Amino acid sequence: KAGVTQTPRYLIKTRGQQVTLSCSPISGHRSVSWYQQTPGQGLQFLFEYFSETQRNKGNFPGRFSGRQFSNSRSEMNVSTLELGDSALYLCASRLDRGRPYEQYFGPGTRLTVT
Partner 1 sequence: GESVGLHLPTLSVQEGDNSIINCAYSNSASDYFIWYKQESGKGPQFIIDIRSNMDKRQGQRVTVLLNKTVKHLSLQIAATQPGDSAVYFCAESREGYGGSQGNLIFGKGTKLSVKP
* Whole-number Å distance between alpha carbons of 95 and 74: 15
Torsion sign, CA atoms 95, 86, 6, 72 = positive
**Shortest CB 61 distance to partner 1, Å:** 18
Strand segments, DSSP code E, in 39-102 are 42-50, 53-57, 64-68, 74-78, 87-94
**33 near partner 1, judged by CB under 8 A:** yes
Position among 1, 62, 97, 99 found at the interface with partner 1 (CB under 8 A): 99
**28 near partner 1, judged by CB under 8 A:** no
**25 near partner 1, judged by CB under 8 A:** no
* Whole-number Å distance between alpha carbons of 93 and 16: 30
**60 near partner 1, judged by CB under 8 A:** no
Q: Which residues of the chain form contacts with partner 1 (CB under 8 A)? A: 4, 31, 33, 35, 37, 39-40, 42-45, 48, 50, 55-58, 88, 90, 92, 94, 99-108, 110
